[in-house]
Structure 1
């Protein structure tokens, strides 16, 4: 069984109505409208990859009509505080269960603590906390939320980062980039399962939805 591949996404930050993001190693500032256009462009490029590439997890490429997404929403781009995982090197290593019953070893890097401003403009915001894994390709957050399993993949969605995306203990989480692992489309792939503590009690209406064949 093939192992899932982590896909590094575009990391974005919203500041006063504009978005700064790193593109080909350079920091760039664009309008929200331009960011959404760029995101939609990347989604089309991903569809083309899934439709045409030999590395695609899609089995029936001839009838593939594209992936399903929530509408881009700037409220789901948040800056998290990264709290290091304080423990011995041995305790940081964790056997992560895979969808095929096997395990893979990751390192507990730390926790991303954040709020979701769209929840309530009047009440005090809830602070959420997600475990960050470190692996050979960088960092990842594997999570579920209250949209699963009816609207989003029940096995969880992923966000990927580079280690140097963390600056001054801050990390931008753009849930518009949350994506499904390959096993959401093809059972011959084995994918890591999100830890129980990474189940958010709220709906995250951003990123990729359940893959459904479109007629």
Structure 2
């Protein structure tokens, strides 16, 4: 009986460790691809200045999704002179660091006319690290409408990234996260502030 118990415990522990290792490998692969195909930083010397928090699976959360009742378009402020048009597609609610959080998920009007990106959703946010360890305007997460299943969506903060304005000022029109998307917790995951020697 004891042998059976220990064997089952070993199998369960092994499965958990394998799942954790698989997640780390997949997320690290995602990060390496992000660095390799960076939209602004092209030189290897520049890419070496990118910094990230260690990958932590606790920052991958399953959130409840609630569709927006009033999906009117609105003009969103950006870091440049050009404003962009979005609408609230819905809200996500999740618990992280023992705190319940709610964020607005946005949809870009411009992308709806592009077959490749028409399913894309946008999750900009700020948190308690903003302006300290992370970029002062905020960070972004990409989602798709197909990610939402049975009113649930997985949000992986390990995959958040900086807007282009974090690397080059005055050239891009990066959406500024709305006040509704200011988290009251520190998200020590994903990309940190761009470091220049």
Task: Report TM bin, short chain.
Answer: 0.7 to 0.9
TM-score by length of 1: 0.74
SS of equivalent residue, structure 1 residue 197: helix
Kindly indicate whether the alpha-carbon contact (under 8 Å) linking 1:143 and 1:157 is maintained by their aligned counterparts in 2: yes
Equivalent positions of 1:161-200 (< 5 A) are 161-187=143-169, 188-200=171-183
2:31 aligned partner: 43
- C-alpha displacement of 1:58: 2.5
Residues 173-213 of structure 1: CA deviation (Å, up to 9, x unaligned): 10000111111111211101100110111100100000102
- C-alpha displacement of 1:102: 2.5
Kindly indicate whether the alpha-carbon contact (under 8 Å) linking 2:62 and 2:155 is maintained by their aligned counterparts in 1: yes
SS of equivalent residue, structure 2 residue 37: helix
Residues 78-119 of structure 1: CA deviation (Å, up to 9, x unaligned): 1111112112x4xx2111111013311111111100101xx2
Kindly indicate whether the alpha-carbon contact (under 8 Å) linking 2:65 and 2:93 is maintained by their aligned counterparts in 1: yes
Q: Which has the larger radius of gyration?
A: 2
- C-alpha displacement of 1:63: 2.6
1:146 aligned partner: 128
Kindly indicate whether the alpha-carbon contact (under 8 Å) linking 1:182 and 1:189 is maintained by their aligned counterparts in 2: yes
Point out 4+ residue stretches in structure 1 off by more than 6 angstroms.
none
Aligned equivalent of 1:71, options 30, 50, 54: 54
Q: Give the Cα–Cα distance (whole angstroms) in 2 for the partners of residues 44 and 161 of structure 1.
A: 19
Structural RMSD (CA): 1.9
Total equivalences in the alignment: 172
Kindly indicate whether the alpha-carbon contact (under 8 Å) linking 2:31 and 2:159 is maintained by their aligned counterparts in 1: no
SS of equivalent residue, structure 1 residue 95: strand
Q: Give the Cα–Cα distance (whole angstroms) in 2 for the partners of residues 197 and 101 of structure 1.
A: 22
Kindly indicate whether the alpha-carbon contact (under 8 Å) linking 2:83 and 2:173 is maintained by their aligned counterparts in 1: no
Instruction: Mark the runs of 5 or more structure 2 residues left unpaired by the alignment.
Output: 1-14, 112-116
Q: Give the Cα–Cα distance (whole angstroms) in 2 for the partners of residues 32 and 159 of structure 1.
A: 22
TM-score by length of 2: 0.81
1:131 aligned partner: 104
Residues 46-73 of structure 1: CA deviation (Å, up to 9, x unaligned): 32223xxxxx3127x2532142100011
Q: Give the Cα–Cα distance (whole angstroms) in 2 for the partners of residues 173 and 33 of structure 1.
A: 19
Corresponding position: 1:207 with 2:182: no
SS of equivalent residue, structure 2 residue 33: helix
SS of equivalent residue, structure 1 residue 149: coil
Kindly indicate whether the alpha-carbon contact (under 8 Å) linking 1:106 and 1:134 is maintained by their aligned counterparts in 2: yes
C-alpha spacing 1:199/1:164, structure 2 compared with 1 (3 Å):
same
